[in-house]
Amino acid sequence: MKSLSRLALPKVFSVLTLSLALASGLTAADADARTLNFSTPAPPTDRPTNDALLWWADEVEKRTEGSISIKIHWLQSLVKYKDAARGVKSGVADIAPMTPEYTMAQNPLLALSSTETGPGDNYVATEAWRRASENFEPLLEEYRRMGARPIGFYSSGARVNMSSTRPYLTPDDFKGDKVRLTPRSVNAANINNWDVTPVNITFADFYSAMERGTIDGAQSYLYLMAPYKHNEVSDYVVETDLGQSLVVVLMNERVWGSLSDEEQKVFEDLLPEYIERMTKAGLEEAAMAKDLLINHPTYAVEYFELDDKQKQAWEKDLAPATEQYVADRAKQNPAATELHERFFDALQEVKKEVAEQGYPWDRK
CB 159 within 8 A of CB 120: yes
Apex CA 98: angle with CA 110 and CA 6, to 5°?
140
Q: Residue 57 is which amino acid?
A: A
Question: According to the model, what pLDDT value does residue 158 have?
Answer: 80
Helices (H) and strands (E) in the chain — how many of each?
14, 11
Task: Give all strands of the β-sheet with 217-221 in edge-to-edge order.
Answer: 197-198, 178-180, 217-221, 159-163, 236-239, 302-305
For the residues of 196-233, what is the DSSP string, one character each? -EE----GGGHHHHHHHTS-SEEEEEHHHHTTTTGGGT
Phi, psi (degrees; rounded to nearest 5) at 181 = -115, 155
According to the model, what pLDDT value does residue 229 have?
93
Tens of pLDDT along 55-83? Answer: 999 999 999 999 999 999 999 999 999 99
What pLDDT sits at residue 185?
A: 95
What span, in angstroms and rounded, lies between the C-alpha atoms of 113 and 100?
A: 8
Q: Are strands 236-239 and 302-305 parallel, antiparallel or unpaired?
A: parallel
Answer yes or no: are the C-beta atoms of 90 and 98 closer than 8 Å.
no
Q: Write the pLDDT tens digit of every residue in 242-299.
A: 999 999 999 999 999 999 999 999 999 999 999 999 999 999 999 999 999 999 999 9
Residue 17 has pLDDT above 90, yes or no: no
Residue 223 pLDDT class (50, 70, 90 cuts): confident
Q: Which CATH number fits domain 159-243+286-323: 1.10.10.10, 3.40.190.10, 3.40.190.170, 3.30.450.20?
A: 3.40.190.170
Question: What is the CB-side half-sphere exposure of residue 84 using CA atoms within 13 A?
Answer: 29
Are 68 and 36 a contacting pair, CB within 8 Å? yes
Tell me the pLDDT tens digit for each residue of 149-184: 999 999 999 899 999 999 999 999 999 999 999 989
Neighbour-count burial of 135, counting CB atoms closer than 10 A to its CB (0-12 exposed, 13-18 middle, 19+ buried): exposed
- Alpha helix (H) residue ranges in the chain: 2-24, 28-31, 48-63, 84-90, 122-133, 137-146, 183-192, 206-212, 222-225, 253-258, 261-295, 308-332, 336-357, 360-363
